């Protein structure tokens, strides 16, 4: 059993330890002199030889075992030592070569750039001389900032890991109210995607994209998904705040990749939620974080400028804070069609209730009264009221929902909103 373990090459410290310490159960032959030595003492020379030979065999067996153990322990030691050495080493910086400076015929210096945008004038190690080009990824020592190694970083950013790409199932029918908004979206996004020739004939250029603005939960994302569904377009969703927070140093690259993904998956709709996180008017504080947001934003503008209005890609951006948006994003030729998605009136709310109660088991519920009692509720809150009403029925052990459930639910959703506001504003 132990022998079998020794034959297998241990690939981790734990497995080696297991092998070494399991040797405790090996039966070491006891070759010490027995107590009744006198009685067992070989009498003849042949017996003596035989005894010595058997002792010799046992000793050599144990010697072999000890040698194997020693080599295992040595391997464990070397591995642990190697790991310790690695832990002691300082981390290296990953940078990109901006330019190689050929001074005095020696390409031994380079301007390098870190992902945060900081640039350095770095020395190139002797063995890398003449082997580096602008755009290469390299490792630099933290203290001296000297370039010590060239590395291959995959340039193909796996953009699909960072954005949501789907073919949405939401249809126009699932949107309550918002009639005019739906019509406008159909005109500016759906029609040019479905019938670009018509626009060519008439001789007008549709907008490249639109900006949906309005309070939270009013259905901006839902509208964007419904357009994607009706045009059978790929829906690529990205959240502005994530672009600037999660991908520090990579935001601009990610924007570029998102647009190239859209070209590959066209027809496509790029939905940028919370665009204000990227495109807010900036105060010139000039921190590196600010510069990073600004670079990402500039890349977005460049991408918007770079595609055709009658192509098969459209951009829909959404924000709750149109008041802080940078004008550059809504200039003609960019997201120059602003569509307000506001809170619905009573008639609109009734339609939203109809959408969300369509599959609910209602009994004598006058949705009109409920719509009347939910002034200033957003679509998302109306959906929450419907779900809560269902829960009130379940708690009462009923399988149908009555008007009272809705009023209790309205109260609950309203209270939750107030509590949240108090929590935020103190």
By CB under 6 A, name the binding residues for ligand ATP: 175-178, 216-222, 273, 318, 320, 352, 355, 379-380, 383
Strand order across the 268-273 sheet:
164-166, 234-239, 268-273, 313-319, 209-213, 337-340
* CB of 199 or CB of 391, closer to ligand ATP: 391
Q: Which is nearer to ligand ATP, 246 or 331 (CB)?
A: 246
- Please report how close the Cβ of residue 355 comes to ligand ATP at its closest, in angstroms: 5
Q: Which C-beta is closer to ligand ATP: that of 217 or that of 390? A: 217
Shortest distance in whole angstroms from residue 217 CB to ligand ATP:
5
168: closest CA among 227, 224, 223, 229? 229
Cβ-based nearer residue to ligand ATP, 360 or 380: 380
Query: 392-395, long-range: CB within 8 Å, 24+ apart, which pairs?
Result: none
Task: Give the CB-nearest residue to ligand ATP.
Answer: 379
User: Cβ 182 to ligand ATP, closest distance in Å?
Assistant: 9
In the complex with ligand ATP, which residue's Cβ is closer, 75 or 380?
Answer: 380
What minimum distance in Å lies between the beta carbon of 89 and ligand ATP? Answer: 46
Residues 6+ apart with CB under 8 A from 242: 162
- Tell which residue, 26, 33, 34, has the closest CA to residue 64: 26
Phi, psi of 103 (to 5 degrees): -100, 135
Distances 215 to 27, 209, 272, 366, 381 between C-alpha atoms, Å: 78, 20, 16, 27, 12
Distance in Å, CB of 228 to ligand ATP, minimum:
13
- Minimum Å gap between C-beta 314 and ligand ATP is 17
Question: Does an H or E element contain 108, and which?
Answer: strand 106-113
Instruction: Between 111 and 355, name the residue whose CB sits nearer to ligand ATP.
Output: 355
CA 130 to the chain's CA centroid: 37
Q: In whole angstroms, what is the distance from residue 406 CA to residue 386 CA?
A: 7
Q: Which is nearer to ligand ATP, 10 or 219 (CB)?
A: 219
Q: How far is the CB of 388 from ligand ATP (least distance, A)?
A: 14
Instruction: Provide the 10 A C-beta neighbour count for residue 165.
Output: 16
């Amino acid at each position: 059993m132990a022998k079998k373990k020794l034959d297998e090459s241990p690939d981790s410290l734990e497995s080696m330890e297991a092998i070494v310490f399991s040797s405790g159960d090996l039966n070491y032959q006891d070759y010490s002199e027995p107590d009744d030595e006198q009685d067992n003492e070989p009498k003849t020379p042949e017996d003596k030889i035989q005894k010595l030979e058997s002792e010799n065999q046992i000793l050599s067996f144990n010697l072999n075992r000890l040698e194997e153990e020693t080599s295992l322990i040595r391997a464990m030691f070397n591995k642990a030592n190697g790991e310790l050495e690695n832990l002691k080493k300082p981390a290296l910086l990953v940078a990109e070569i901006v330019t190689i400076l050929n001074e005095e015929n020696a390409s031994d210096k380079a301007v390098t750039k870190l992902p945060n945008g900081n640039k350095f004038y770095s020395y190139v190690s002797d063995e890398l001389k003449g082997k580096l080009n602008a755009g290469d990824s390299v490792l630099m020592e933290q203290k001296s900032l000297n370039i010590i190694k060239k590395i291959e970083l995959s340039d193909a950013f796996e953009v699909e890991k960072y954005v949501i790409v789907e073919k949405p199932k939401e249809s126009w029918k699932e949107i309550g109210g918002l009639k005019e908004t739906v019509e406008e979206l159909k005109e500016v996004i759906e029609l040019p995607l479905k019938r670009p020739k018509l626009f060519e004939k008439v001789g007008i250029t549709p907008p490249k994209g639109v900006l949906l603005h309005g309070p939270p939960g009013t259905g901006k994302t839902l509208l964007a998904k419904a357009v994607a569904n009706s045009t059978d377009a790929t829906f690529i969703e990205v959240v502005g705040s994530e672009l600037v927070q999660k991908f520090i140093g990579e935001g601009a690259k990610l924007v570029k990749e998102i647009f190239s993904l859209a070209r590959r998956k066209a027809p496509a709709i790029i939905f940028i939620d919370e665009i204000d996180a990227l495109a807010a008017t900036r105060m010139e504080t000039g921190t590196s974080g600010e510069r990073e947001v600004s670079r990402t934003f500039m890349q977005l503008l460049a991408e918007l400028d770079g595609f055709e209005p009658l192509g098969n890609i459209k951009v829909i951006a959404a924000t709750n804070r149109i008041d802080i948006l940078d004008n550059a994003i809504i200039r003609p030729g960019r997201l120059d069609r602003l569509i307000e998605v506001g809170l619905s009136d009573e008639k609109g709310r009734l339609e939203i209730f109809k959408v969300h109660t369509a599959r609910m088991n209602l009994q004598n519920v006058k949705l009109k009264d409920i719509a009347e009692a939910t002034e200033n509720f957003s679509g998302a809150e109306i959906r929450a009221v419907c779900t809560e009403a269902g829960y009130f029925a379940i708690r009462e052990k009923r399988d149908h929902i009555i008007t009272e459930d809705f009023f209790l639910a309205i109260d609950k959703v309203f209270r939750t909103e107030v509590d949240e506001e108090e929590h935020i504003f103190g």
